[in-house]
Structure 1
Amino acid sequence: MRSLVGPVPEPAERAGSALRRCARAMLSAGTAAPIATVHLAHHAPGTNDFWLAIGMADAATITAGGVRARLEVLDVILGGVADGRCRRVVVVEGRVELPGTHAQRHVATHIAVDLPDHSLLGIGDDIALVRLRAEQIVLTDHDGVTTIEPDDMATSGPDPFADLEGHWLDHLNDPRCRIVPRIAMRVCRCLPAQRPLLVGIDRAGVDLEFTDRDDNIHRQRIPFAEACSEVGELGTQIRLLAGGPRYPMDRAALRP
């Protein structure tokens, strides 16, 4: 039987996806400065720079020339029954700097094109945009602890479905949807009493979690037959994992 443990995105891509969602993040700058809540985290493509939106009072503790800082991002599941559970942690260490207000607002306009967020509206008023120059990046998830070179982050990017994953999980984990139990039959001879959950979806496959008869929780990686880059391709691969046709039934008659 072919192994069902398939490929997963590279660590840099998984870290990029966590930063993209940035569900929970904290920044500690220096030894005496308080820990600041990060409202938004943006990795500037092609660089080792991370732009972080924090409270103005927290930014005031950053001295001229910058200070050593540590960014901790919790990548939590968004959507469905497992909403709010942490699945990976990304830690970025480096030097954080506070640019001038004009420079902050200039950068915010570029960030808004790729990652629109209401916190960007407060830049220069109650929110400050600081730059963290990454020197070390560590990813901790189900596969263990992995050190990521900053240059790898510079040449990588988030999963193409990072922004939509929560909506997919919310829909597919709905008890009225039968797709997840059908996918679970690939790894379970008989379905457990507790409904299996999808806890991750990316371009290469899905992460399934189920509880066995002894109440032990297992996580299984189930790969797609083909990597996806568009929403239509993702729907097709999920349908195939559930034992369905490649095309929706209303399109079956249109196949060549």
Structure 2
Amino acid sequence: MRSLVGPVPEPAERVGSALRRCGRATLTIGSGNPAATVTLAHHAPGTPDLWLVIPMADAAAITAGGLHARLEVLDVILGGVADGRCRRVVVVEGRVELPGGHAQRHVATHIAVDLPDPSLLGVGGDLALVRLRADRIVLTDHDGVTDIEPDDLATSGPDPFADLEGHWLDHLNDPRCRIVPRIAMRVCRCLPAQRPLLVGIDRAGVDLEFTDRDDNTHRQRLPFAEACTEVAELGTQIRLLAGGPRYPLDRAALRP
């Protein structure tokens, strides 16, 4: 499994996080078929396989033995004023299979334990749960285009805060919150006219975006001093980036 070190999560982990969030995703099955909308993507632990929820009408095109398919996931920012902006693209090619109805519902109950999602309730009705056996995985982001070995995805996983990132971004990018401007002072001698934004939070650091006075947009990675595995640790590291104390001040405890 991945080690909690390094200023930036490894590519396979970034892929896992994008799949977990599944902001906007489509699955093209075979040739000549329209792309199906994917409402949920679940990485089967210990394998490079993905379980995808798609409309039953699109799944009907899958023949016995499976068909070649191409999954495209846009990892969009969730929360805050940058909501909906795409920051990375994940493409997975492989063979898609359609299990029987009973098997789909059985797998859906197990997935719901780890990733509860309303779309799982429709499996067996107007939605189908299909299995994509990954042969090729490509990640495109600010670091360029990276080929991911399926075995690397099998032994990795999403960022521990992938499910909560949108809530953190929504809160920290609120104009009433002064944390982001304080973090921005680490890379800007004077704050630009346009408020800086946090566009990414993970166990190893944050991604800051700001526009200079010449209207040029810059993105800066600010790593944490220590990698995080729990929400309390994440709050501590963000507080330290903003120049605050390691421990929050308990005003009530200071009263006589």
Note whether the superposition's TM-score is higher than 0.5: yes
* Paired residue type of 1:14: R
Which deviations, in whole Å up to 9, do the C-alpha atoms of 1:11-45 show, x marking residues without a partner?
A: 00000000000010000011122110001000001
Residue aligning to 1:75: 75
Can you give the 5+ residue segments of structure 2 that lack an aligned partner in the other structure?
Answer: 1-5
Residue aligning to 2:59: 59
Residue 184 of structure 2 is aligned to residue 189 of structure 1: no
Can you give the 5+ residue segments of structure 1 that lack an aligned partner in the other structure?
Answer: 1-5
Secondary structure of the residue aligned to 1:128 is strand
- For the residues of structure 1 that align with 2:56 and 2:29, how far apart are their CA atoms? 14
Residue 246 of structure 2 is aligned to residue 223 of structure 1: no
Secondary structure of the residue aligned to 2:130 is strand
- Alignment coverage as a number of residue pairs: 249
Residue aligning to 2:112: 112
Aligned 1:195-214 pairs, distance under 5 A = 195-214=195-214
The alpha-carbon deviation at position 181 of structure 1 amounts to 0.3
Which deviations, in whole Å up to 9, do the C-alpha atoms of 1:192-222 show, x marking residues without a partner?
A: 0000000000000000000011100000000
* Paired residue type of 1:175: P
Residue 34 of structure 2 is aligned to residue 30 of structure 1: no
How many percent identity over aligned positions?
A: 88
Secondary structure of the residue aligned to 1:132 is strand
Secondary structure of the residue aligned to 2:250 is helix
Q: Which 4+ runs in 1 deviate beyond 6 A?
A: 251-254
Residue aligning to 1:103: 103
Residue aligning to 1:235: 235
- For the residues of structure 1 that align with 2:237 and 2:77, how far apart are their CA atoms? 21
The alpha-carbon deviation at position 252 of structure 1 amounts to 11
- For the residues of structure 2 that align with 1:252 and 1:236, how far apart are their CA atoms? 19
Residue aligning to 1:127: 127
- For the residues of structure 1 that align with 2:18 and 2:192, how far apart are their CA atoms? 30
Residue aligning to 1:3: none
Secondary structure of the residue aligned to 1:182 is helix
- For the residues of structure 2 that align with 1:233 and 1:202, how far apart are their CA atoms? 12
Q: How has the CA–CA distance of structure 1 residues 45 and 192 changed in structure 2, closer, same or farther, with 3 Å as cutoff?
A: same
Residue aligning to 2:3: none
Which deviations, in whole Å up to 9, do the C-alpha atoms of 1:69-120 show, x marking residues without a partner?
A: 0000000000001000000000000000101001101110110000000010
The alpha-carbon deviation at position 253 of structure 1 amounts to 7.2
* Paired residue type of 2:83: D
- For the residues of structure 1 that align with 2:53 and 2:187, how far apart are their CA atoms? 42
Residue aligning to 1:172: 172
Which deviations, in whole Å up to 9, do the C-alpha atoms of 1:40-67 show, x marking residues without a partner?
A: 0000010111000000000001111110
- For the residues of structure 1 that align with 2:251 and 2:34, how far apart are their CA atoms? 58
* Paired residue type of 1:41: A
* Paired residue type of 2:209: E
- For the residues of structure 2 that align with 1:93 and 1:116, how far apart are their CA atoms? 25
Secondary structure of the residue aligned to 1:249 is coil
